[in-house]
Amino acid sequence: MQIGIVTDSTSDLPPQILKKYQIESIPAIVVIGGEQFRDSVDLSRKEYYQRLPDINPPPTTASPAPGTYEETYRDIFDKGADHIISIHAASDLSAIHDTAKLVSKGFGSNVTVVDSQQLSLGLGFQVLEAIKAAKKGLEIPEIIARIENIRGRLQVHAMLDTMEQLKRSGRVSWAQAGFGSFLKLKLFIELKEGQVLREGQARSRRRAINSLKDRIRSYGEIEQFAILHTNAEQDAKNILKELDLSLDEDPFIINVTTVIGTHVGVNALGFVAVLK
């Protein structure tokens, strides 16, 4: 059986990886001043983050139009696929999954839509596991089991340099309630089972970065790893260099998708670790 794999741009998989594995990635949407921009297509991440703090009214994000999914699915089937596994951003945080689910009904049982319960490489590593399993000839239930296995071994954490964007986005209820208390602090968050959880805070960026490194070191053996940032590339590179991790595969350094950055703000740092 030939299986096609589809995801969306919030997976943060680099273009060369998408091309290598023939993964189709549907761009999510950022809305600025009423105009829609396709994530990673119409927007440069670096330039967007330079502008983000000054954009007023604040940008918003949206799911791609249903027709984009339909066109993508039809194209994959036209190329000979027997089935599609479509893996998307956490449904509690984005409408992307629900739109894919709606469109999939038009293809009967030939499209399986998966809620990754994650974002960025938390989603991306699940997509990579799916395509590798598909290329080995595994059946659909076995591929889904592989996806769920890697999801259960994920650790996804971040440090926000500012709470401003999270408050403006309105996506996280506790960010609204606690904004005044955390305004001048560096806030730690975890993404788990589709929920953004508040973990603590630090009084300076230096202390926050040290806390991130200590957490990563505490895990022991790590199978796959990615450092995430929003226009904080040098800090990301320094963290990776200081950790000196022993990994089976090269780690990623990712300036994260504009769709995520719209909500977490600039100068954020984080990581995704797949534990052994």
Domains of the chain: 3-28+63-151 (3.40.50.10170), 154-275 (3.30.1180.10)
The pTM assigned to this predicted structure is 0.93
pLDDT in tens, 131-145: 999 999 999 999 999
Q: Which of 144, 4, 149, 126 is nearest to 72 (CA)?
A: 4
Query: Per mean pLDDT, which range of 114-128, 178-192, 217-231 is the poorest?
Result: 178-192
| Residue that is written with structure tokens 């964007």 in the block | 165
Burial 60-95 (b: 16+ CB within 10 A, else e): bbebbeeebbeebbeebbeeebebbbbbbbbbebbb
Q: What is the largest CA-CA distance in the chain?
A: 55
What's residue 180's pLDDT?
Answer: 44
Report the C-alpha gap between 76 and 120 in whole angstroms.
23
CA-to-CA distance for 121 and 128, rounded, in angstroms?
10
